Chain A
């Protein structure tokens, strides 16, 4: 049972962590909670369905599975990146100098708008996400492990490593860190702050798109509402780890999912969410900046 709950938790954790990164990246730079981020993830899942439908009619899913898998992730990533950048331009940039409450309300507004927009366009019914990867299962330490679960974990960990490298090693990553530290100063030394912010939104949205497609493949069912719950949990994960902190989002995502999984398995499935938020409250009482500390500390975004 322990091994099985570990597997259950790790997969959900990978999804939470990928979405949490989007929250934390934006917060690190703009001190803004982008509440519409969960909807980007939901849109990613829908675009994935659309891509699969097109590939299916073209027959590509039969002839070239590898190419199909690349496309089913890549196209939603590009699409969502465009969504993220547009979101920032339309809803947040005009409010850059405004009091902090204004962009927050704008974010909630965008979240509601996107959710309802997708409901109107795509309908309110659950949509099936076609099963692309038929992977087998095997037993490991008494746990039932599916190939898809391993695929999801590897993909998520790979993306997180890539993000760390990007932030630490590239010039654009350095510009991001500089903007996070002091936006005015960064712009004075020649960093194109607007571009950096757009890139930040794009990266967050790309990760959310991957999470959306992953969840679609994993659960096989998508609706316009999935962004809300997932966004809430990912936001909690980001705060738990220390919002603004990339490693923290990562850690928070896995920690929250594992705690939920073990609690639901050993104690009570009914109070799963109660427990998740209780942990958040307790952690915030003792460490208001989150487990690893927020963007003010050493490991900045």
Chain B
């Protein structure tokens, strides 16, 4: 009996050692975002983009670090767009020795999490967090491959003033770092152009009924309602504007609502919605390869942030291979050192970690899909 017990123990301990040995040979990259919850649509884009990049590297035998090739292992973190979850995931990633981070999705999560990564000297590239503050904190290891909300707000404000020539604007936001940040930037640029919003208010994220605040906005007879926030609230707002209150004002929002859920659930109420977003990636020559691979691997089209996540992951792995190091400072220096040829075209980082050029353009929901306005 005792002999048996010993042999079982021996097998178990060997297995554990073998397991950890196998583990030690992999290169760990943390990927975090809202993988579940009401923003899971974005989490899925993040997940698929990162997975695609890692599978390509592993198919080629892994990343060469110094002399040996290492397979890449993704550590998943589901922050459910909750800043507290984000910080605890950041600590978990750092403690498990992640060599780099792709994430987080929401600005409200990326900003507190970035403190943890920066302190530990781990490089972080977010594919989607657009709040300016993220790269204004003075951390050298924080990067983003997307644009900034001050750029986005300016494009929105200029379009309203120059193209639409509208004067009565109502502004709503969801009180999050991203939503309120974007709404405030748009408001700031509108005021710069001499248009003072007639209505400005926050709404409660996760609420279902926005008719009271919309009724109050309706009193000011807005010609356009601008919303800073994410698609679950945008769907309810635009539906209730059209179906409950009969408001005909235009609806405009930012890159946080670019998911198929938006036009699928809001249906015909969503028609005509204006959106500021980066130019159509599916038309980019550089992106065609990823789009094809994504279709083959996941059986559907890429989402708004799939390619961004793919690019972010590739940049980290490329830098590790080029420098032969997993040290944040070295990787960060390499990331800044050159112009990158990516699936999103040419990208170069400035000192802060923002991309040098980020041209936001106007999109519109037309015939139940997003279309770039030419």
Contacts and interface: CB of A to CB of B under 8 A. Distances in A.
Interface of A: 1, 4-5, 8-9, 11-12, 119, 123-126, 128, 131, 137, 144, 146, 149, 215, 219-221, 223, 225-226, 229-230, 260-266, 268-270, 272-273
A12 B236 CA distance: 14
A5 B212 contact: yes
A219 B38 CA distance: 15
A5 B206 CA distance: 20
B227 to A, nearest CB: 13
Nearest to A129: B265
Contact of A219 (B37, B208, B245, B246): B208
B212 A225 contact: no
A5 B202 contact: no
Contacts of A273: 204
Interface string B238-265: 0100011110000000000000010011
A226 B235 CA distance: 15
Contacts of A123: 40
A270 B246 contact: no
Given A1-B216, A8-B209, A226-B208, A270 B175 contact: yes
Contact of A264 (B40, B216, B232): B216
Contacts of A264: 212-213, 216
Contact of B215 (A5, A225, A226, A270): A5
A1 B214 CA distance: 10
Interface residues of B, number: 35
Contacts of A144: 244-246
B342 interface: no
Most buried by A among B206, B211, B232: B211
Given A128-B264, A229-B208, A269 B246 contact: no
Interface in B33-61: 36-38, 40-41
Given A219-B236, A265-B216, A269-B204, A124 B265 contact: no
B261 A126 contact: yes
Contacts of B243: 137, 146
Contacts of B218: 4
Nearest to A223: B38
A220 B203 CA distance: 19
Contacts of B261: 125-126
Nearest to B264: A128
Nearest to B219: A1
Interface in B163-202: 175, 201-202
Contacts of B38: 124-126, 223, 225
A62 B179 CA distance: 41
Given A124-B36, A126-B265, A128-B265, A268 B201 contact: yes
Nearest to A262: B212
Given A5-B215, A220-B265, 15 more contacts: A1-B219, A4-B245, A8-B211, A8-B215, A9-B212, A126-B38, A126-B232, A126-B261, A215-B208, A221-B265, A261-B211, A261-B212, A265-B216, A268-B201, A273-B204
B207 interface: yes
A272 B267 CA distance: 28
A260 B212 contact: yes
A265 B245 CA distance: 13
19 contacts: A4-B211, A8-B212, A8-B215, A11-B209, A124-B40, A125-B38, A137-B243, A137-B246, A215-B208, A219-B239, A220-B239, A220-B265, A225-B38, A225-B206, A229-B206, A270-B175, A270-B203, A272-B212, A273-B204
A12 B246 contact: no
A221 B236 contact: yes
Pairs of residues from A and B, 9 with the lowest C-beta to C-beta distance, nearest first: A264-B212, A269-B213, A8-B211, A124-B36, A270-B202, A128-B265, A124-B40, A265-B212, A261-B212
A146 B201 CA distance: 25
A289 B111 CA distance: 45
B306 to A, nearest CB: 16
A28 to B, nearest CB: 28
Contact of B201 (A126, A131, A230, A270): A270
A125 B212 contact: no
Contacts of B41: 125
Contacts of A1: 215-216, 219
B157 to A, nearest CB: 23
A226 B206 CA distance: 8
Given A125-B40, A221-B265, A270 B204 contact: yes
B202 A269 contact: yes
Contacts of A11: 209
Nearest to B269: A220
Contacts of A268: 201
A220 B208 CA distance: 10
A221 B216 contact: no
B232 A221 contact: yes
Contact of A12 (B36, B201, B209, B267): B209
Nearest to A119: B36
Contacts of B267: 131, 220
A271 to B, nearest CB: 9
A9 B212 CA distance: 8
A75 B246 CA distance: 33
